[in-house]
C-alpha cells in the first residue's frame, strides 16, 4: 500500500527516534545500514523529510540527522503525506472517479473498511510510539533470522 520510499522513511524516523536520547546527530550511512536501505535512496528520502520539517539536519563533520526532542510527536500520516501524498487514502480502491455508496465498485465496501482502518492507524500512531516499542524489544526494523 505504501511506496518503498515511504516504508524507508518510516523506518528511518523510527530509528532516529529510538536514538534521540543519545544527543547526537545520526549519519546517513548509519541510518541506511540500520534499515537495510541503499544509501543514495535514503539520502533522497531524508532530504524530503528535512525539507518538510519532519526531521532536522546539520551539515559538517559532526553533522547528520536528528529528531528535535522539543518538537511535537510525528504522526505516521505526516510521513505518508510527505512521501506518498494522501490521494490513495481517500479514493476508490480501483481508482474509479464515480465510485460511491450509491454507485459502488466491486470492492467498495471491503476497501472502505480497510482504508478507514488504515487512516485511523496513521492518524493515531506516532513515530515516537513505534520507537518506544522497538526500544522495549516489542518490534524490530530488520528481519530477525533465527538459527
If one counts the domains in the chain, the total is 1
Structure confidence by residue, pLDDT tens digits, 37-70: 999 999 999 999 999 999 999 998 889 999 988 8
Q: Do the domain assignments include residue 116?
A: yes
**How many angstroms separate the CA atoms of 9 and 30, rounded?**
14
Q: Do the domain assignments include residue 107?
A: yes
Positive or negative, the CA dihedral 91, 96, 102, 104 is negative
**How many angstroms separate the CA atoms of 123 and 110, rounded?**
20
Domain range enclosing 62: 4-135
Structure confidence by residue, pLDDT tens digits, 86-143: 988 888 889 898 898 899 999 999 999 999 999 999 999 999 999 998 877 777 776 5
Q: Do the domain assignments include residue 79?
A: yes
Q: Do the domain assignments include residue 147?
A: no
Q: Do the domain assignments include residue 23?
A: yes
Q: Do the domain assignments include residue 141?
A: no
Long-range CB contacts (< 8 A, 24+ apart) of 21-25? 24/64, 24/66, 25/57, 25/58, 25/62, 25/63, 25/64, 25/65, 25/66
**How many angstroms separate the CA atoms of 131 and 129, rounded?**
5
17 in Cβ contact with 79 (< 8 Å): no
CA atoms within 13 A on the CB side of 79: 28
Q: Do the domain assignments include residue 74?
A: yes
CATH number at residue 41: 1.10.10.10
Taking the model in full, what pTM does it have?
0.88
Q: Do the domain assignments include residue 145?
A: no
Three-class secondary structure of residue 112 per DSSP = helix
Amino acid at each position: 500500500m505504501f511506496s518503498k520510499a515511504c516504508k524507508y522513511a518510516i523506518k528511518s524516523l523510527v530509528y532516529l527516534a529510538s536514538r534521540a536520547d543519545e544527543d547526537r546527530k545520526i549519519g546517513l550511512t548509519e541510518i541506511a545500514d540500520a534499515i537495510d536501505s541503499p544509501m543514495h535512496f535514503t539520502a533522497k528520502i531524508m532530504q524530503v523529510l528535512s525539507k518538510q520539517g519532519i526531521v532536522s539536519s546539520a551539515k559538517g563533520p559532526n553533522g547528520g540527522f536528528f529528531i528535535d526532542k522539543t518538537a511535537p510527536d510525528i504522526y505516521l500520516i505526516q510521513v505518508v503525506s510527505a512521501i506518498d501524498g494522501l490521494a490513495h487514502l481517500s479514493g476508490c480502491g480501483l481508482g474509479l472517479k464515480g465510485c460511491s455508496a450509491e454507485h459502488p465498485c466491486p470492492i467498495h465496501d471491503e476497501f472502505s473498511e480497510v482504508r478507514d482502518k488504515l487512516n485511523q492507524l496513521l492518524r493515531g500512531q506516532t513515530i515516537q510510539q513505534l520507537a518506544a516499542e522497538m526500544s522495549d524489544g516489542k518490534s524490530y526494523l530488520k528481519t530477525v533470522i533465527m538459527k
